[in-house]
Chain A
């Protein structure tokens, strides 16, 4: 059974349904009409993915020091690992990255033979890059964590030369624990709480040579 519901064959859009005032003749609802309602809801569940972030970039990238030094002074809590790879390419400080948090991920991505997975996060970065010199990075962490603690999902890409959109898709594979958060104003002794998967989305950059710009950052949920 399809997790997101089944749509009518060949139908990839919501079909108009009658307003409630058009239904008042006392008859039962037959399957044909109900199928339209069911197909519509399947379509809406498919399309319920959300836009997560939209931002202008930092502009020209000047962090040829990877953020591990600032004006020649070592950072207080981020020692240069010496050997740089994956997420240790940058220090993830404010001159080398930005963080969007919290985001609440939803778990409705169908995986054959397995429990539903988390929606993926697609990050689109608009950049003006010199040849093979701008590295773009993105990762998901717990809200209280930093990428230096080890990200839950990580991706990077060498920016396309010239003015282009560069895409990183993050797939959250680890099992994470949902947290209970107040979802209504606290009144009385029994606050209503909902269970959410709360994460932080980090986007980073590192320019090794040439003139490079990060112009915009956008992120969407996909499946």
Chain B
């Protein structure tokens, strides 16, 4: 038995509820179920779409960390990696040199697996993947992988690291990755009877009102309440940027005082990029009831540092800072999460501007990934 997932929002009017009367399972309960299944099964997250800078051609393998807390209603996600364009070959007389072929490999969260369609996969770390010629317009060398999240509960309900490793094929050199996109694929059905989220529509008896009872009667009120709470707290907005996890490529700072981060390339630390995003107003649009997020960072340091998030709700005037302490990582790449970040939804169109700054007590702080993932409680 499965529950069908609608592909659009489901309408409902409060007039359907007659004050003081029992509530109809048909006109209300089943609508609730459809709404919950839509939220949990169709409106799943767009986890990541970010771009990286081109590398000088090299054979050195580079890791790109993506942070992901899978939606519980998602069973398969699609990963697309666009390689940087490059000159495919150099011709010196009759000698072909400088071929650019890459390999891509994935390190997935525990419990997840790569789906090898037809027994093959582009991202197995061995397949030769040509880079696109730089002279071609509007066509990237794009490669796809499907990621199987297994049965409900196979992948722990937490933020995971998904690592993409790009390397040169054989003795070829690569120039890195241009864009990484990770998208959760909506499901057609949910299977609550196997432990998945969602509501089994047939469990709501259309012949009766909605009333509470013990679980053996199955009047579905507890299920509807749990489903509504799941829809509020388990559909988690993702925002993130990522780059190569390498101390010669990652973003960095050597400043002992909070200052602009060196974002590499022509921007460096001359400008500090502003990121504008829309905040979900789960708790409304009052400044006093902001949305709750987890700020998770992957970094490398040998001393204590700080990552600052400068928060400016659009049109609301006030700016506030959120400082995340980053203890020394001991000269290794590590991830650290801070579940106390809040973002206000009272900006114009619920938008907020975010700017990232950092400091390090001594040495250099390197950052390879910054993720902000909504973390609400019921």
Contacts and interface: CB of A to CB of B under 8 A. Distances in A.
A38 B84 contact: no
Contacts of B244: none
B96 interface: no
Nearest to B144: A102
A29 interface: yes
Q: DSSP class of A's interface residues: helix, strand, loop or mixed?
A: mixed
Contacts of B267: 56-57, 59-60, 213, 215
B76 A45 contact: no
B93 interface: no
A47 B280 contact: yes
A55 B51 contact: yes
Interface string A106-149: 11100000001000001010101000000000000000001110
Contacts of B277: 51, 54, 124, 218, 220
A157 B273 CA distance: 19
Interface string B34-58: 0110110011011011110100000
Interface residues of A, number: 104
Residue among B50, B136, B239, B273 with max Cβ neighbours from chain A (10 Å):
B273
A222 to B, nearest CB: 7
Contacts of B21: 30-31
Contacts of A220: 277-278, 351
Given A27-B212, A76-B136, A184 B76 contact: yes
A184 B9 CA distance: 22
Contact of A5 (B10, B224, B239, B286): B10
A137 B35 CA distance: 36
A146 B138 contact: yes
B213 interface: yes
A28 B22 contact: yes
Nearest to A204: B138
B23 interface: yes
Contacts of A171: none
A75 B137 contact: yes
A45 B179 contact: no
Contacts of B138: 78, 91-93, 97, 146-148
B285 A12 contact: yes
Interface stretch (B11-19, B156-164, B331-339, B357-365): B11-19
Contact of B139 (A13, A52, A101, A146): A146
Residue among A41, A47, A77 with max Cβ neighbours from chain B (10 Å):
A41
A34 B274 CA distance: 42
Contact of B9 (A16, A75, A108, A218): A108
Given A4-B9, A52-B46, A195-B188, A29 B278 contact: no
A101 B181 contact: yes
A176 interface: no
Interface in A180-221: 181-186, 192-196, 201, 213, 215-220
A29 B32 CA distance: 14
A40 B376 CA distance: 15
B298 interface: no
Contacts of B13: 1-2, 5-6
Contact of A183 (B38, B75, B135): B75
B241 to A, nearest CB: 6
B214 A27 contact: no
Interface string B220-236: 01111110110110010
Nearest to A3: B11
A215 B276 CA distance: 12
Contacts of B238: 51
Contacts of B183: 102-104
Given A1-B12, A2-B11, A183-B186, A99 B136 contact: no
B14 A103 contact: no
Interface string B248-277: 000000000000000101110001011111
Interface string A52-75: 111111111000000110100101
A16 B7 CA distance: 27
B282 A185 contact: no
Contacts of B228: 17, 37, 40-41, 44
A6 B85 CA distance: 49
Contact of B225 (A8, A37, A70, A147): A37
B179 A104 contact: no
A144 to B, nearest CB: 10
Given A73-B135, A163-B271, A31 B20 contact: yes
B181 A14 contact: no
Contact of A222 (B18, B240, B349): B349
10 contacts: A3-B8, A28-B212, A32-B17, A37-B225, A54-B239, A94-B132, A103-B181, A116-B8, A185-B148, A194-B42
Given A34-B210, A195-B188, 20 more contacts: A1-B13, A6-B14, A14-B283, A17-B229, A26-B213, A30-B20, A38-B12, A43-B282, A44-B231, A48-B9, A56-B53, A67-B137, A78-B138, A93-B136, A93-B138, A103-B49, A108-B8, A148-B138, A183-B186, A184-B187
